């Protein structure tokens, strides 16, 4: 047993001071273990870049300390264990053994665990930044013991990866930060809706946002631009009108309504005499983000959505895949043939307008600029047509994509809708 030190001796106050320091040191190590280890690198990086001025300062001080988290964890636990083991030794010199055990357990539980962890869980950023220099010194002191253990943990458990949110988790997090959730968030309903729409846009395809062919307004390339047709176009109020040949599903191009300003209804000029612009064709499985990226370049704000015909799909399932390609200049079969397979549109490839054909089933997302800027050439009675293997199922525009992003309908001056009374 250790020799007892009485209160009248000078060692009593020295041992008492050591006991107090050990309790405070053990409490600090315990609190930092919870406070620093609960801060992920992602949280600290976010605070360092976009937090308040104080938070950016604190996070910048803490980040170098917590990057090697296993080394930091081993250092804090070694220091905490050393302080807690040394405390009963000094208490035993002041009081009886049973009192030393009782008091040490009480001090460690109350002042070394509960209070420090409660405070550090609430003010971990401030406390961690304040004692960061001390922690660095402790890391170097405990390095001979802590480093091998941390390397063993790295080998067995691996490095702790950044706690990034998945898309669905991020959407839920945004909803929780909305002011309608009642949790103190500052995001408005429109902000949360747009953010959620942007996160969902990558999972939506052209088929989700398109307007079916049966619901679109288009005109025949052989129609006459008489007064009735001009009035009908004016009534619809569209800035672009698709043009078809023989049947509405055979969309061959589009006309800009502003180009009709110079057409006199009394002349009854045919539609094919007006400048008909080429219209890009996309597969129904093409992601909306890819379509938006192309629309925002300004070449075209409208595209035709095409799909394989059902009989062609059934033949593909039995292994008899047909070959076909499309000539961008005339929309007629090209001598150069490629294998057509059902695959997302983002793997399609389009060739420049050099009398060669854009081939479905290739690997580029880009649409050639000439595809939009050139006017469709119609030579005599030779009119373009879609290949038999595909059919047009809808029309998609920039407005359709924006509506999916906003998750709300966009009404212009010519749209007919009814408001709840």
Domain boundaries, the chain: 10-157, 167-201, 206-406
**Mean pLDDT for all residues in the chain:** 76
Q: What is the average pLDDT across 352-366?
A: 37
Instruction: Check residue 396 and give its pLDDT.
Output: 92
Residue 122: CB atoms within 10 A of its CB come to 11
pLDDT band, very low/low/confident/very high, at 4 (cuts 50, 70, 90): low
Q: Is the pLDDT of residue 41 over 70?
A: yes
Instruction: Check residue 76 and give its pLDDT.
Output: 93
Q: What is the average pLDDT across 362-388?
A: 55
Q: Is the pLDDT of residue 326 over 70?
A: no
Are 286 and 251 in contact by the 8 Å Cβ rule? The answer is no
Instruction: Check residue 173 and give its pLDDT.
Output: 84
Instruction: Check residue 20 and give its pLDDT.
Output: 87
Q: Using CA atoms of 294, 295, 299, 300 in order, give the dihedral in degrees to the nearest 10.
A: 130
Q: What is the average pLDDT across 44-60?
A: 88
Instruction: Check residue 359 and give its pLDDT.
Output: 35
Instruction: Check residue 72 and give its pLDDT.
Output: 93
Q: What is the average pLDDT across 308-331?
A: 45
Listed ranges 121-130, 132-141, 236-245; the one with the highest mean pLDDT: 132-141
Using only C-alpha atoms, what is the Rg of the chain?
Answer: 36
More confident residue, 5 or 131: 131
Share of the chain above pLDDT 70, in %: 76
Task: State pLDDT tens for residues 266-281.
Answer: 888 888 888 888 888 8
Indicate the angle between helix axes 69-92 and 132-141, nearest 10 degrees: 80
Task: Specify the CATH number of the domain 206-406.
Answer: 3.10.580.10
Q: Is the pLDDT of residue 245 over 60?
A: yes
Question: Which of 116-130, 271-285, 346-360, 374-388 has the weakest average pLDDT?
Answer: 346-360
Q: What is the average pLDDT across 344-365?
A: 36
Q: What is the average pLDDT across 360-381?
A: 51
pLDDT band, very low/low/confident/very high, at 360 (cuts 50, 70, 90): very low
pLDDT band, very low/low/confident/very high, at 365 (cuts 50, 70, 90): very low
Q: Is the pLDDT of residue 333 over 60?
A: no
Q: What is the average pLDDT across 93-106?
A: 77
Q: Which residue has the tokens 């040191």?
A: 25
pLDDT band, very low/low/confident/very high, at 321 (cuts 50, 70, 90): very low
Instruction: Check residue 6 and give its pLDDT.
Output: 55
Instruction: Check residue 374 and give its pLDDT.
Output: 58
More confident residue, 354 or 194: 194
Instruction: Check residue 186 and give its pLDDT.
Output: 81
Q: What is the average pLDDT across 243-260?
A: 86
pLDDT band, very low/low/confident/very high, at 323 (cuts 50, 70, 90): very low
Q: What is the average pLDDT across 166-171?
A: 82
* Structure tokens, 95: 């009081």
Q: Is the pLDDT of residue 338 over 80?
A: no
Q: Is the pLDDT of residue 325 over 50?
A: no
């Amino acid at each position: 047993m250790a020799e007892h030190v009485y209160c009248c001796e000078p060692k009593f106050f020295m041992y008492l001071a050591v006991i107090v320091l050990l309790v405070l040191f053990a409490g600090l190590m315990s609190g930092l273990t919870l406070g620093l280890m609960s801060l992920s690198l992602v949280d600290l990086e976010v605070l360092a870049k976009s937090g308040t001025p104080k938070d950016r300062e604190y996070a910048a001080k803490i980040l170098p300390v917590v990057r090697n988290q296993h080394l930091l964890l081993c250092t804090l636990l070694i220091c905490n264990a050393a302080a807690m083991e040394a405390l009963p030794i000094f208490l035993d010199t002041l009081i009886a053994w049973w009192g030393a055990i009782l008091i040490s357990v009480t001090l460690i539980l109350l002042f070394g665990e509960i209070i420090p962890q409660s405070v550090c869980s609430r003010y971990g950023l401030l406390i961690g930044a304040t004692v960061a220099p001390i922690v660095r010194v402790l890391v170097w002191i405990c390095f001979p013991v802590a480093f091998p253990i941390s390397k063993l943990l790295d080998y067995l458990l691996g490095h702790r990866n950044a706690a990034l949110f998945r898309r669905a988790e991020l959407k839920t997090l945004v909803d929780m930060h909305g002011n309608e959730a009642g949790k103190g968030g500052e995001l408005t309903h429109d902000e949360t809706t747009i953010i959620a729409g942007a996160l969902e846009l990558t999972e939506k395809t052209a088929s989700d946002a398109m307007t079916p062919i049966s619901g679109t307004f288009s005109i025949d390339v052989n129609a006459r631009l008489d007064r009735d047709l001009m009035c009908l176009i004016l009534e619809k109020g569209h800035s672009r009108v698709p043009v078809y040949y023989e049947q509405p599903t055979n969309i061959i191009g589009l006309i800009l309504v502003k180009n009709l300003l110079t057409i006199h209804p009394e002349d009854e000029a045919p539609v094919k005499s007006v400048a008909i612009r080429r219209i890009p064709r996309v597969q129904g499985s093409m992601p909306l983000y890819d379509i938006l990226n192309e629309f925002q370049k300004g070449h075209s704000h409208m595209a035709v959505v095409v799909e394989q015909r059902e009989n062609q799909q059934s033949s593909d399932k039995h292994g008899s895949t047909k070959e076909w390609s499309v000539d961008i200049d005339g929309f007629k079969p090209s001598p150069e043939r490629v294998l057509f397979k059902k695959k997302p549109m983002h793997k399609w490839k389009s060739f420049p307008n050099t009398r060669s054909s854009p081939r479905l089933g290739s690997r580029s997302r880009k649409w050639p600029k000439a595809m939009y800027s050139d006017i469709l050439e119609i030579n005599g009675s030779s009119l373009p047509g879609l290949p038999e293997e595909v059919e047009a199922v809808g029309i998609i525009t920039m407005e359709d994509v924006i509506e999916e992003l906003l998750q709300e309908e966009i009404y212009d001056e010519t749209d007919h809708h009814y408001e709840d009374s």
